[in-house]
Amino acid sequence: MRIGFSTGALALSDFQVGLAMNQAAGLNAVELSALRETEVAGLLAAIDGMPLQRLDFVSFHAPSSLQRISDKELIQQLQPIFDRGWPVIVHPDIIRDFDIWASLGSRILLENMDQRKPIGRNARELRQLFVRLPEAGLCFDIAHARQVDPTMSIAVEILTEFSDRLAELHISEVDSGSRHVAISQLAMKSYQRISSLIPEHVPVIIESMICEADIPGEVEVVRASLRRLVPSAVGT
Amino acid sequence: MPNSTGTSTDSPFDEICKSLRHEFPALSAARRESRQTERKIRDSVAHIRISPDIGLVVFGSLARLEWTSGSDVDWTLLVDGPSDPEHFALAREVERSLKETGFSPVGATGTFGSMASSFDLIHYIGGIEDSNQNMTRRILLLLESVSLSDTVVHERVLRGILKRYIQTDPAVSTATAPQFRVPLFLLNDIVRLWRTIAVDYATKKWQMPSTKWALRNIKLRMSRKLLFVKGLLMCFSCQLRPPAIEEQNEEIVLDQIVSHCLNYTQKSALDVLCEMLIQVNDDRLAIKLLQAYDDFLSCLNDKKKRKHLQDLDFSRAASDELFQEVRQISYNFRDGMNELFFDHELLRPLTRNFGLF
């Protein structure tokens, strides 16, 4: 299993600290997070010096809102990420110009949203987006799906309909204030029920906002939550 | 009707009208009026910022796409999250906005009142906590409700209720090979609501003998019956029109049944009936049923006739020309439903197996 944390979950905007914690825990995947647009430049400038060589999977989380720059300018900034072949996770509500994002094909992964966002929360809303981004992949946020529908039937719909697009999994628990927190027993059971719809080769990025001491325990909870991953011939 | 990709598709009602080359003007007008009224209501409450834990949901004729000149707006704030004393003020704000736009206040029955919590609807199914009101709210939410705010709360509560019925119902799946079958727990509660409505009609007639009894009587025979039919067809559809099972994990199949039933909850009762009429492919029966319902709505939309029925004393009913006319309409509707459920080979076995015993 390729598994690791989002740097933002471990250390908010301090990606270096987040990355160090992820490395220290011996995890083989990471998501570099620049959730605020002001964080993008600094993160990009530091990439060459990051100890990423031993990792089996690296992705990049684009800012969750754009106030100062256009999506075209953001895409231009992210060129070094695309050049490295790292998938870029995008919240659908930042997209203004669908054509320019569509031109990036499968290099972008749309993330399903939590209940606060008016789009991209269920299969119906994602379908409308994928019509305009026909080659985009899916970053399935299992916690968002559970917040939108605790029965997990929406999660089943998304995973069934978009199985061929699934390229990354976000996992944590989302509380009533839409904060990403450590996974509870109830959430773990919900995730176990549907984990057979998630192929084993899909990289798992943990978004639970926890302190460093809790990393090993949370990783174990994630592994237990996904114990019915479908074995696949692709990847590890 | 817009579909999920934003393009336009015909509703089952539109489809059957084309196929029959027949018009049902009162039904078409009521559907048109319903959509216009829905837009007006959305506009009237658009300035109210509603949190992600709350849905503004309407019921009754508006949700059934049967809006007529005498209809009122049955609505509730559906709370699916932490309770906040400010919810009450929010409900008053919705009420004030609706009144200012000229809509009648909440229906006199107050089945929903101005607020409803998802907790009771999902957790109290059967047992002593499940009051008449809670059961009525729950099933009406499944059979005739539409969200006028963001749909996420409405859909989440619907899925929660459906999951309660389906996850514990052994009729839906077996240990060896998951199958879609008639969900009996859900079916029994829908039957319970239909019988409760009929009993409550008698109670109201006893308690308020000279008030609106004739209107309630005709609604019981027509719109309430159609609602029950929608519930029956939703349950029967699990066996009649099941989605393909590709997944052998029983828990995931149960989730698929929840989604299948949810799809039915989001169609109007008339559209669910039209889908079945298209499937049984009996033009004569389709015209009989739809014409009866068209005549009923035409009567309700006629202010003079509606007022006449509203004021009609029970002792004069036998000799009242209008009442006898609408009664005959209801007989036509009943006879058509009997044909559909008891005579057509598609539904007959299910009606026989699940309709009574």
> What are the residue boundaries of the structural domains of chain B, listed by start?
12-354
Q: For residue range A181-235, what is the model confidence (pLDDT) as tens digits? A: 999 999 999 999 999 999 999 999 999 999 999 999 999 999 999 987 666 544 4
pLDDT, position A12: 86
Q: By mean pLDDT, which of A57-61, A70-74, B42-46, B246-250 is the weakest? A: B246-250
Domain covering A3-225 assigned CATH 3.30.420.10 in the classification: no
pLDDT, position A139: 98
pLDDT, position B178: 62
* pLDDT tier for residue B2 given thresholds of 50, 70 and 90: very low
Q: What value does the mean pLDDT take over residues B226-232? A: 98
Closest CA to A31 of A174, A164, A170: A170
Q: By mean pLDDT, which of A52-56, A87-91, A161-165 is the weakest? A: A52-56
In percent, how much of chain B has pLDDT > 90?
A: 68
Specify whether the CB–CB gap between B157 and B122 falls below 8 A. yes
Q: By mean pLDDT, which of B7-16, B126-135, B279-288 is the weakest? A: B7-16
Across the interface, whether the CB atoms of A128 and B4 are under 8 A apart is answered yes
Q: How far is B257 from chain A (nearest CA, A)?
A: 9
Q: How far apart are CA B223 and CA B292, in angstroms?
A: 11
pLDDT, position B6: 41
Residues of chain B positioned with their CB less than 8 A from the CB of A121: 152
In chain B, the residue whose alpha carbon lies closest to the alpha carbon of A228 is B249
Nearest beta carbon to residue B156 from set A124, A148, A155: A148
Flag whether pLDDT at B110 surpasses 70.
no
Contact of B72 with chain A, judged by CB distance below 8 Å, is answered with: no
Contact of B46 with chain A, judged by CB distance below 8 Å, is answered with: no
Contact of B147 with chain A, judged by CB distance below 8 Å, is answered with: no
Q: How far apart are CA B191 and CA B232, in angstroms?
A: 8
Flag whether pLDDT at B3 surpasses 70.
no
Contact of A118 with chain B, judged by CB distance below 8 Å, is answered with: yes
Q: Report the sign of the C-alpha dihedral through residues B310, B316, B318, B319, in that order.
A: negative
Across the interface, whether the CB atoms of A176 and B53 are under 8 A apart is answered yes
pLDDT, position B173: 54
Indicate the domain borders of chain A. 3-225
Flag whether pLDDT at B322 surpasses 60.
yes
**Torsion angle of alpha carbons B329, B332, B335, B336, nearest 10°?**
-110
Q: How far is B331 from chain A (nearest CA, A)?
A: 41
Residues of chain B positioned with their CB less than 8 A from the CB of A153: 159, 163, 255-256, 258-259, 262
pLDDT, position B108: 41
Q: How far apart are CA B57 and CA B76, in angstroms?
A: 5
Nearest beta carbon to residue A151 from set B163, B246, B247: B163
pLDDT, position B50: 87
Contact of B113 with chain A, judged by CB distance below 8 Å, is answered with: no
pLDDT, position B103: 84
Flag whether pLDDT at A110 surpasses 80.
yes
Q: Is B337 exposed, middle or buried (0-12, 13-18, 19+ CB in 10 A)?
A: buried
Nearest beta carbon to residue B255 from set A116, A122, A152: A152
pLDDT, position B246: 67
Contact of A122 with chain B, judged by CB distance below 8 Å, is answered with: yes
Across the interface, whether the CB atoms of B5 and A128 are under 8 A apart is answered yes
DSSP state of A233: S
pLDDT, position B212: 82
What tokens appear for B105 in the block?
A: 């206040």
pTM, two decimals, is 0.88
Pairing of strands B54-59, B145-147: antiparallel
Q: What is the 3-state secondary structure of chain A?
A: CCEEEEHHHHHCCCHHHHHHHHHHCCCCEEEEECCCHHHHHHHHHHHHHCCCCCCCEEEEECCCCCCCCCHHHHHHHCHHHHHCCCCEEECHHHCCCHHHHHCCHHHEEEECCCCCCCCCCCHHHHHHHHHHCCCCEEEEEHHHHHHHCCCCHHHHHHHHHCHHHEEEEEECEECCCCCEECCCHHHHHHHHHHHHHCECCCCEEECCCCCHHHHHHHHHHHHHHCCCCECCCCCC
Q: Is A208 exposed, middle or buried (0-12, 13-18, 19+ CB in 10 A)?
A: buried
> Which residue(s) pair with A90 in the sheet?
A110
pLDDT, position B154: 96
User: Which DSSP string corresponds to B184-200?
Assistant: HHHHHHHHHHHHHHHHH
Q: How far apart are CA B201 and CA B310, in angstroms?
A: 15
pLDDT, position B176: 63
Q: What is the ipTM score, two decimals?
A: 0.80
pLDDT, position B5: 43
Q: What value does the mean pLDDT take over residues B131-149? A: 94
Q: For residue range A31-79, what is the model confidence (pLDDT) as tens digits? A: 999 999 889 999 999 999 999 988 999 999 999 999 999 999 999 999 9
